[in-house]
Amino acid sequence: MENESTKYWIIVASKDHVKNGIAEGIAQACHGKASPLKRMCKGDFIIYYSGKQTMGQPQLCQQFTAIGKVTDEQPYHFQVSEDFCPLRRNIEFLPSKDISILPLIGELDFIHNKKSWGYPFRFGFFEIKRHDFELISSQMLK
């Protein structure tokens, strides 16, 4: 199933957007930009982190909200509206539960400064090591 070239990614999106993506079996990153999605390969795993419940609203979420596997070879365009045509990837989402990041901060290697733990998420998309993926997924998978 996994091999040594498998990579693990965090994508940041509001919880409402993540749940829409699960329903459609797709992932978008960084408002549909190409470069993050082109870095992913078929067989890679993603975990969504949601800092907010709803995009543009103040209610915090601070949870990992989805986990899945990339199933296609390349990103593709999808016309959402007349002026928005983001790139997407097809994802096989795994049955999972949302979990708080707060109890995991001390153990996650990608968070170097535990006091400013939210800093890595500012980039919207980044690779994590297998250790962090296994720690998060062990809590999320039902």
Q: Which CATH number characterizes residue 55's domain?
A: 3.10.590.10
Number of domains in the chain: 1
Between CA 97 and CA 111, with CA 106 as vertex, the angle to 5 degrees is: 90
3 within some domain: no
Give the C-alpha separation, 118 to 23, whole Å. Answer: 27
Q: Which residues of the chain have pLDDT under 70?
A: 1-3
DSSP 8-state class, residue 31: G
Give the C-alpha separation, 9 to 40, whole Å. Answer: 8
90 within some domain: yes
Domain that holds residue 130: 8-140
What is the pLDDT, as a whole number, of residue 78? 85
What is the pLDDT, as a whole number, of residue 2? 59
pTM for the structure as a whole: 0.93
